[in-house]
Structure 1
Amino acid sequence: MPYQPIENYGVIGDMHSVALIAMNGSLDWLCFPHFDSPAVFAAILDDARGGRFQIEPIASEIRHKQFYWPDTNVLVTRFYCAEGVGEVVDFMPVGRAASSEHVHQVIRRVGVVRGTMRFRMRCAPAFNYARDAHTMIFDGCGVIFRTPALSLVLTAPIQMREENDAAIAEFTLNEQETIHFVLEELQQTPPVCPPAAYIQHQFEATVDYWHRWLAQCTYTGRWREIVYRSALALKLLTFAPTGAIVAAATCSLPEEIGGVRNWDYRYTWIRDAAFTLYALMRIGFTEEAQAFMQWVEARCHELEPDGSLQIMYGIDGRHTLVEEELDHLEGYRQSRPVRIGNGAYNQLQLDIYGELLDAVYLFNKHGAPISYDLWCELRRMINWVCANWHRKDEGIWEVRGEPQHFVYSKLMCWVAIDRGLRIAEKRSFPAERDTWLRVRDQIFEEIMEQGWSDEHQAFMQFYGSDTLDASNLMMPLVFFVAANDPRMRSTLKAIMRSPAEGGLLANSLVYRYDPAHGVDGLPGEEGAFNICTFWLVEALTRASVTEPALQEQARLIFERMLTYANHVGLYAEQTGARGEALGNFPQAFTHLALISAAVNLDHALGGER
């Protein structure tokens, strides 16, 4: 079957892994049992070889509709055809539905709402990114898919048969009848098909879990539904055992169809820390903020001997994320290469220190006081920043070209030292205050002198550059300059010009930079960067304090951006020229920025704090 658009997917999960399910009822992505485990189903990366778990009516013409059970991560895919109306309810049990050992399950309950319908189920796993062959054993009410590394079992209350290394079943359901398929790691032989009462209990317990979890949200402002959905998406991207949040659920979904900008985002970036903690704490999810802070603190106790930090880690805290290309997979719509691992893990990206220190500062202020032991590590880190901030680096966008003096990297070095000074002052911690203050001011003046272009009347991407960069929209958000500072206002105006005029704004969508300048060392184009659009909204919101007209402009851009969410309120990393989703999906960064922009814009418009 042809590739589904990236935006055609909904997502289910259990805070250990997620599954992507298309509007046609095909489960096309699942890494088992964890986010960064090898894929069992990866049809989204190779339609022919990747493996899928398909359930769909046997009918000539089918209309599809997909939605979430209200305020949950339980996904409903509905089919309309001449024979009737059927649906598949997909979920992964969580909360009371999951045992203490957390048996990871994907439950797919098929039913008919109206009429009589015939369905076809095809479960065709492709273990280890379609690199490992499997054997099949039909035993009891299930089929066992066995490999040396992993064995899964699919159970159902109907007869299944083998066809080309897949389990196949065809069945007819009358109105109000249901059956269920349960996919899980093999626990016992022969496998036992759980009764319908068990499936109903799991469904009710999972719905109850999501309702109780979302009830903690304190946000009561405008756009509540999309804020709730963003919070639910972020929770799905949380790895429960460690509190880490993965950047996205997938790997190698392209930033350009047919292009090479295909990366693995199933890891945790240090720079996400500040955005995550800020967004979660602002809307009441203090437990999640605390868990992520514990993960961040653990990484701070693993500094390199010189006091430096890695830019990203595995969800379990591992340091090595070797990048590998899977040449046997064709990639989403022939977008090669397919990559797993991420070679950027050992890049020099100076901005991470600012984002980390900002996260710690916010948590110390609004969460809980940090410990002296953590401060000792942070002090070493700040001293490293003071000694190394002047170096070229690969920057926030992890360029694969030549390192540069990126303005955003310098900005976040300033943030790192500034927040260190604030924490030391607030907690009376010992610190090299004179040195830190001197270096902080030195960085500020250098950005103003070398990061600013008199010719373009804007802060540029790197020293001596002719290119704008949307990351500089963060300047007022981290209180480096006021949003109404003449230089910042001028930068805003420059960014808000069209790409044809040298700007980055096209129909309310913001590009992160112009790839034609070649700074990232890669060929091709890419879409507008969703997080940058929300950064623009925040910058305009802050500037509107002295220029009220900007507030309405911020609202219009924000609300237009909401229309680019997919049918269930999810975003990928980028939005293409035709409004299509591009890049890995769903993207935590985008949803974090949406929450932050919504909270601040709502407050500016007169909403509650």
Structure 2
Amino acid sequence: MAIARHKTAGRPTGRGAGLVGDERVVKPAEASSTYPAISDHGLIGDLQTAALVSTQGEIDWFCCPRFDSPSVFASLLSRSNGGSFKISPTTEDHITHQSYFPDTAVLVTRFMSEAGVGSVIDLMPIIDHPRSPSERHRIVRIIRAVRGQMSFVIQCNPAFDYGRGKHKVKLTDAGAVFESELGDLTLHVVGKPGHKVLEDVDTFTGQEGGVRLTVTLREGEISGVVLESAAEGGPRRIPQDELTELLNGTVNYWRTWLARSNYTGRWREMVNRSAMAIKLMTYAPSGALVAAPTAGLPEQIGGERNWDYRFTWIRDASFSVHALSSLGFIEEEEAFGYWLRDRLHEHIESGGGQLPIMYRIDGSSDLEEFTLDHFEGYRGSKPVRIGNAAGEQLQLDIYGEAMLAVYQMDEKGFVMTDQTMRDVISLMNWLCDHWDQPDEGIWETRGGRQPFVYGRLMCWVAFDRMIRIVQRHGRPAPVARWTAERDKIYEQIMASGWNPKMRAFTQYNGSSVLDAALLRMPMVDFISARDPKWVSTLEAMERVIVSDSLVYRYDPAASPDGLRGSEGTFSMCTFWYVDALAVSRRVDEARLAFEKMFTYANPIGLYGEEIGLTGEQLGNFPQAFSHLGLINSAVFLNECIERTPKPGLGGFRTH
């Protein structure tokens, strides 16, 4: 084994690899100079942070010690100076294939060549006490020769603080320490059985603050490295039996966790993978769900729609309540319930007013947005934004999503304390005075406020569900006022949100733009799925914003959103379309649309935010919204299928 510092090679030239089925043939020189497809990644994590691993064995995104901390590896956003941690064969040509250990978040990347077959097993051991914030995190990378013989190159080039920080490297016979002002990373090396690490070392030379190791393994041999933050001591040679313990412990954790699921319906494999993706994106100390573990991945290649999603949206996290509850993950549902309860109480205690739409994972609301001008952006997609200015927007729909979550948790016995009820009543009283004003809407447009129909729809939901809660518990509350405001909203939507020429409900009062968010109208019991107004709205959407079952949020050309360029179809909207078809008794069409979505997942079942024209994943990856939508649609559609008369007995619509 040879260890040497090295200079990271690479310049962005776009995708250049050829496809063979779900495998990718790449030469090492090509892999170092191109950006991998967004979908060419798996996710590993320890419930406090996470890392993306490409199909070429490169960790090109990792923030430490939390999801929203500055990046250590970010070559996914800047090949030249983002930092990366790569393990790959030295062979000229190889084929790669990526998969998860069944029912786990342990990732396996296999490399196949004429000389042999090897694998890299990537995992992050779960922290001993995951509910307590920890500075210590470990990335375990196990290298194994499966058949024949294979040589691997291990290259670790951290770039602290989004590539802005400086660090020093100290090398030892057991690895290296990367010292920075933001904390140290320690690289522990695994030697061959019966050998001292020094006997495997040829040289200690290098430059540019990184290390390079080479190792040759024969069939059955195992090696690897462990990268650790906040290590208690210096680098040490990791025994192979310790690697095995870390692997087995992580596998057992995930299988034990997944065994808590009570889902027995169709599509179990996809539902389980989505559940684990959601779990990987949940910050255990607070119970907060990040929208995605990444920042800056574009909704349009080369465009400016590049956002930081490492925060907790009231909306996204509220959707998780139904998804997790429907699978039997009550502990996670309750954790978010406490998180939401604390945010509402802090908000009221600080004076109330407009509720923030998103928070950091620790509950703070400092989301100042700035750009990383020294990052070139994924395949030239600039600017790379950190923080999120949308946090200051008025988005009225979040009140409905929050109250819908509270209502669902209350049905399951979540304790509605006197203080929580008082906080919620204060929030609803504010909403009484402010629901009838323009807002930025669910899609966080930056083109000015409008009287968005979806915002009003969810305000209707907020009043409706809170009326039910106080009546269920007999609590004192201004129910008469809430009822009056609820009814005003209903009348306004039916009068102003309805466009008689288009025969459809539209994006905002008086507009002619269709909006996929309104697919939720029958799902929240605002309107019957058999109402002629809803039927014609769905048909209008199918003509304009549905493309072979994939659904656009809206037409940016018809609804200026303050940004240049276009975007792909929005995966959550496609799952809402599935729900809308199912509730409209078009169950066979709903099933076809749902199962077609499986073909757009990456080979290991992960989805980004959007799907491009040629089927590529776009936006931050993986996306919690997409996986929440999949779970909710799977549960609801399965129930609809069970209730639907069998073929030959009627009840099917062929459209």
CA contact (8 A) 2:497 2:510 kept: yes
Local SS of the residue matching 1:252: strand
Residue 592 of structure 1 corresponds to: 628
1:543 and 2:584 are equivalent in the alignment: yes
Give the CA deviation at 1:392: 0.5
Q: Matched residues in 1 for 2:634 and 2:427: separation?
A: 33
Residue 58 of structure 2 corresponds to: 26
1:271 and 2:307 are equivalent in the alignment: no
Residue 125 of structure 1 corresponds to: 158
Residue 548 of structure 2 corresponds to: 507
CA contact (8 A) 2:447 2:560 kept: yes
Q: Matched residues in 2 for 1:88 and 1:306: separation?
A: 51
Local SS of the residue matching 2:310: coil
1:146 and 2:179 are equivalent in the alignment: yes
1:381 and 2:433 are equivalent in the alignment: no
Give the CA deviation at 1:387: 0.4
Residue 547 of structure 1 corresponds to: none
CA contact (8 A) 2:132 2:285 kept: no
CA contact (8 A) 1:7 1:581 kept: yes
Give the CA deviation at 1:305: 1.5
The match for 1:342 among 385, 388, 400 is 388
1:401 and 2:401 are equivalent in the alignment: no
TM-score, length of structure 2 as denominator length: 0.90
CA contact (8 A) 2:74 2:82 kept: yes
Per-residue CA shift, 1:93-118, capped at 9, x if unaligned?
01669898853100000010000111
Question: Which sits farther off after the overlay, 293-302 or 100-109?
Answer: 100-109
Q: Which residue identity does 1:124 align to in structure 2?
A: N
Give the CA deviation at 1:60: 1.1
Q: Do the aligned partners of residues 125 and 288 (structure 1) sit closer, same or farther apart at CA in structure 2, a change above 3 Å counting?
A: same
Structure 1 segment 50-199 matched on structure 2, within 5 A: 50-94=82-126, 103-156=136-189, 157=191, 158=197, 159=201, 161=204, 162-199=206-243
Residue 20 of structure 2 corresponds to: none
Give the CA deviation at 1:517: 2.4
CA contact (8 A) 2:288 2:317 kept: no
Per-residue CA shift, 1:38-96, capped at 9, x if unaligned?
00000100111111101011111100000000000000000000110000000000166
Local SS of the residue matching 1:202: helix
CA contact (8 A) 1:97 1:206 kept: no
1:431 and 2:477 are equivalent in the alignment: yes
CA contact (8 A) 2:131 2:286 kept: no
CA contact (8 A) 1:402 1:519 kept: no
CA contact (8 A) 1:36 1:266 kept: yes
Q: Which residue identity does 1:469 align to in structure 2?
A: D
Residue 650 of structure 2 corresponds to: none
Q: Which residue identity does 1:117 align to in structure 2?
A: M
Superposed CA RMSD in Å reads 1.5
Residue 599 of structure 2 corresponds to: 563
Give aligned pairs, total.
598
Q: Which residue identity does 1:600 align to in structure 2?
A: F
Q: Matched residues in 1 for 2:220 and 2:213: separation?
A: 20
Local SS of the residue matching 1:553: helix
Give the CA deviation at 1:4: 0.2
Local SS of the residue matching 1:114: strand
Local SS of the residue matching 1:182: strand
1:40 and 2:65 are equivalent in the alignment: no
Local SS of the residue matching 2:298: coil
Local SS of the residue matching 2:521: helix
Q: Matched residues in 2 for 1:99 and 1:191: separation?
A: 27
Question: Which sits farther off after the overlay, 40-49 or 297-306?
Answer: 297-306
Give the CA deviation at 1:386: 0.7
Residue 25 of structure 2 corresponds to: none
| Structure 2: 5+ residue stretches without partners | 1-32, 192-196, 645-655
Give the CA deviation at 1:429: 1.1
Give the CA deviation at 1:189: 4.1
Residue 605 of structure 1 corresponds to: 641
TM-score, length of structure 1 as denominator length: 0.96
Q: Matched residues in 2 for 1:273 and 1:98: separation?
A: 19
Give the CA deviation at 1:140: 4.1
The match for 1:444 among 477, 485, 490 is 490
Give the CA deviation at 1:519: 2.7
Give the CA deviation at 1:369: 3.2
Local SS of the residue matching 2:511: coil
CA contact (8 A) 2:48 2:130 kept: no
Q: Matched residues in 2 for 1:298 and 1:457: separation?
A: 43
Residue 284 of structure 2 corresponds to: 240
Q: Matched residues in 1 for 2:221 and 2:363: separation?
A: 46
Identity across the alignment (%):
47
Q: Matched residues in 2 for 1:29 and 1:95: separation?
A: 20
Give the CA deviation at 1:319: 1.1
Q: Matched residues in 1 for 2:165 and 2:460: separation?
A: 49
Residue 47 of structure 2 corresponds to: 15
Q: Matched residues in 1 for 2:413 and 2:122: separation?
A: 35
Q: Matched residues in 1 for 2:207 and 2:602: separation?
A: 34
CA contact (8 A) 2:432 2:485 kept: yes
Give the CA deviation at 1:366: 1.9
Q: Do the aligned partners of residues 435 and 97 (structure 1) sit closer, same or farther apart at CA in structure 2, a change above 3 Å counting?
A: closer
Q: Matched residues in 1 for 2:235 and 2:131: separation?
A: 18
The match for 1:315 among 361, 365, 387 is 361
CA contact (8 A) 2:140 2:226 kept: yes
Q: Matched residues in 2 for 1:177 and 1:167: separation?
A: 23
1:482 and 2:518 are equivalent in the alignment: no
Local SS of the residue matching 1:531: helix
Per-residue CA shift, 1:107-132, capped at 9, x if unaligned?
00001000011111110111111001
Give the CA deviation at 1:165: 1.9
Residue 619 of structure 2 corresponds to: 583
Q: Do the aligned partners of residues 284 and 5 (structure 1) sit closer, same or farther apart at CA in structure 2, a change above 3 Å counting?
A: same
Question: Which sits farther off after the overlay, 565-574 or 516-525?
Answer: 516-525
Q: Which residue identity does 2:620 align to in structure 1?
A: N
Q: Matched residues in 2 for 1:494 and 1:311: separation?
A: 30
Local SS of the residue matching 1:382: helix
Q: Which residue identity does 2:592 align to in structure 1?
A: L
The match for 2:564 among 517, 523, 529 is 523
Q: Matched residues in 1 for 2:71 and 2:127: separation?
A: 24
Question: Which sits farther off after the overlay, 97-106 or 39-48?
Answer: 97-106
Local SS of the residue matching 1:192: coil
Question: Which sits farther off after the overlay, 402-411 or 299-308?
Answer: 299-308
Residue 205 of structure 1 corresponds to: 249
Per-residue CA shift, 1:164-189, capped at 9, x if unaligned?
32100111101100112000114244
Per-residue CA shift, 1:538-558, capped at 9, x if unaligned?
0111110xxxxx111111111
Per-residue CA shift, 1:459-509, capped at 9, x if unaligned?
000011111000000111111111111111111101111xxxxx1011110
Q: Matched residues in 1 for 2:540 and 2:252: separation?
A: 48
Q: Which residue identity does 1:274 align to in structure 2?
A: S
Local SS of the residue matching 1:516: coil
Give the CA deviation at 1:607: 7.6
Q: Matched residues in 2 for 1:563 and 1:371: separation?
A: 45
Per-residue CA shift, 1:449-468, capped at 9, x if unaligned?
00000000000000111110
Residue 4 of structure 2 corresponds to: none
Q: Do the aligned partners of residues 274 and 148 (structure 1) sit closer, same or farther apart at CA in structure 2, a change above 3 Å counting?
A: closer
Question: Which sits farther off after the overlay, 158-167 or 395-404?
Answer: 158-167
Residue 333 of structure 1 corresponds to: 379
